[in-house]
């Protein structure tokens, strides 16, 4: 599922002329918001239930540098649907499909009042499981 399109603007790049690693995380975080929102787990969708997400694990692999002006696309896929969490992977690619980086994320459904993990709502679980069943590796 496509979750983000972006540009590696010059102000995102460092003295070496490539996008600084801090901005990879920002792009992946934005993609996560679109991804969980598409599953029914966006901030506005969860507000009344006082629920949110807490990322508990990120694994990033940098494959190919991104130069200033690069056009970027993030696609996201479900890896695992747990009782309280989703595991998903972002792939950051260029316009020719060249892989720049990946991030594997484990994000836990979080009760914003009790400050603890809670089971995934059925609607989110069902949407994530459906997406997982439709994916082609």
Residues belonging to the chain: 137
Q: Which helix (H) or strand (E) holds 2?
A: strand 2-7
> Rounded mean pLDDT of 30-36?
98
pLDDT at 28: 99
> Residue range 30-50: average pLDDT?
96
What is the Cα–Cα distance from 109 to 117, expressed in whole angstroms?
Answer: 6
Q: What share of the chain is helix, strand, coil (3-state, %, to 5)?
A: 30, 40, 30
Summarised one tens digit per residue, pLDDT across range 65-100 is 999 999 999 999 999 999 999 999 999 999 999 999
Question: Residue 135: which pLDDT band, with cuts at 50, 70 and 90?
Answer: confident
CA angle 124, 127, 131 (to 5 degrees): 135
Mean local confidence (pLDDT), 92-121: 97
Q: What is the pLDDT of residue 137?
A: 66
The pLDDT value recorded for residue 70 is: 96
Q: Which residues contact 111 (CB under 8 A, 6 or more apart)?
A: 50, 51, 117, 118
Reply yes or no on whether the pLDDT at 34 is more than 70: yes
pLDDT at 136 over 80: no
The answer, yes or no, to whether residue 47 has pLDDT greater than 90, is yes
In the predicted model, what is the mean pLDDT of residues 9-35? 97
Range of the domain at 53: 2-134
pLDDT the model gives residue 11: 97
pTM comes to 0.94
Q: How far apart are the first and last CA of the chain?
A: 13
CATH assignment at residue 114:
3.10.129.10
Domains contained in the chain, number: 1
């Amino acid at each position: 599922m496509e979750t983000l399109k972006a540009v590696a603007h010059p102000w995102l790049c460092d003295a070496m002329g490539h996008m600084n690693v801090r901005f990879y995380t920002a792009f992946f975080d934005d993609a996560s918001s679109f991804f969980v929102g598409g599953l029914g787990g966006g901030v506005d969708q969860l507000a009344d239930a006082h629920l949110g997400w807490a990322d508990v694990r990120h694994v990033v692999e940098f494959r190919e540098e991104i130069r200033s002006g690069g056009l970027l696309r993030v696609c996201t896929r479900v890896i695992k649907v747990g009782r309280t969490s989703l595991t998903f992977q972002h792939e950051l690619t260029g316009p020719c499909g060249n892989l720049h980086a990946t991030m594997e994320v484990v994000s836990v459904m979080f009760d914003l009042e009790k400050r603890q993990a809670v089971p995934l709502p059925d609607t989110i679980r069902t949407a994530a499981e459906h997406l997982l069943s439709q994916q082609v590796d």
